[in-house]
Structure 1
Amino acid sequence: MLIGELSRRAGVNAHQLRYYEAQGLLEPERGANGYREYDETAVLRVKQIRHLLGAGLSSEDIAYLLPCAVGEAPVLPGCPELLAAMRSRLQRLDQQMAVLAHSRNALADYIDAAERTGSETYPPFDDLVPA
């Protein structure tokens, strides 16, 4: 099937499919005319990629895990190498969430302080902006 058909059947844009190819996640054949040609397994593979991206895995992580994936969801075997890769990604996500939570709390504190201060201590905004 051509890229447009795969795009329709997998529910993703053609540019995403080209990106997956560039990342080594999809490997289409090339027809005599130079067009990408995908076999039937490409639909399943794209769905697996989408699920793994949705879990927060990077393209690099997925390239490592994908050969072991089974089914659309997909199911991954519990071998030590795969578990280590997934645990590493989970740790990175936890760190990012901690940074975001800290930023959110700091911003909420600034908002709270600004609301407590009130507008009566500041000149009207129009007085601050040059005419």
Structure 2
Amino acid sequence: MRIGELARRAGTTTRTLRYYESRGLLPARRAENGYRTYDETDLRLLQQIRTLQDFGFDLEETRPFVDCLRAGHPAGDACPASLDVYRRKLAELDGLIGQLESIRAEVAARLTLATETPEPRCEFGGSTP
């Protein structure tokens, strides 16, 4: 298939596909007429990349998954390097969750303090408690 069809089927743009190609994530095969050519395997690579990006993985983090698929494994997360990326991402997410929980607790404490303080309340703008 040509680049336009692959982009359509993958739900992306030809510009994105060219970018992935320049980063070495998508193969750069050309037909005799000079047009880029792709197959179902390339679509699978793109679907893997897109899924991981939807989960918050940056483009470089998808590389081990792409390499795993290219090596002939049935799933991009069947290789040790992919599992390492999952582990790092989970640690990163756990850290972010911890930060958010801390911020949430601080905001909740400030709200409680602000609503329990018997000072005069502002009468303009926003809602009153």
Shift of 1:42: 1.7
Preserved CA contact (<8 Å) 1:23 1:59: no
Higher relative contact order (CA 8 A, sep 6+): 1
Match of 2:7 in 1: 7
Match of 1:43 in 2: 43
In the TM superposition, 1:100-119 aligns within 5 A as 100-117=100-117
Aligned sequence identity (%): 34
Give CA-to-partner distance per residue, 1:16-57, whole Å, 9 cap, x none: 43443344322333568876x131122111111122223443
The number of equivalent residue pairs is 121
Partner Cα distance (2:122, 2:82) in 1: 60
Structure 2 gap ranges (5+): none
Structure 1 gap ranges (5+): 127-131
Confirm or deny that 1:77 pairs with 2:78.
yes
TM-score w.r.t. structure 1 length? 0.67
CA pair 15-101 structure 1, distance change in 2 beyond 3 A: farther
Provide the alpha-carbon RMSD of the alignment.
3.0
Confirm or deny that 1:25 pairs with 2:13.
no
CA pair 4-104 structure 1, distance change in 2 beyond 3 A: farther
CA pair 28-123 structure 1, distance change in 2 beyond 3 A: same
Preserved CA contact (<8 Å) 2:7 2:17: yes
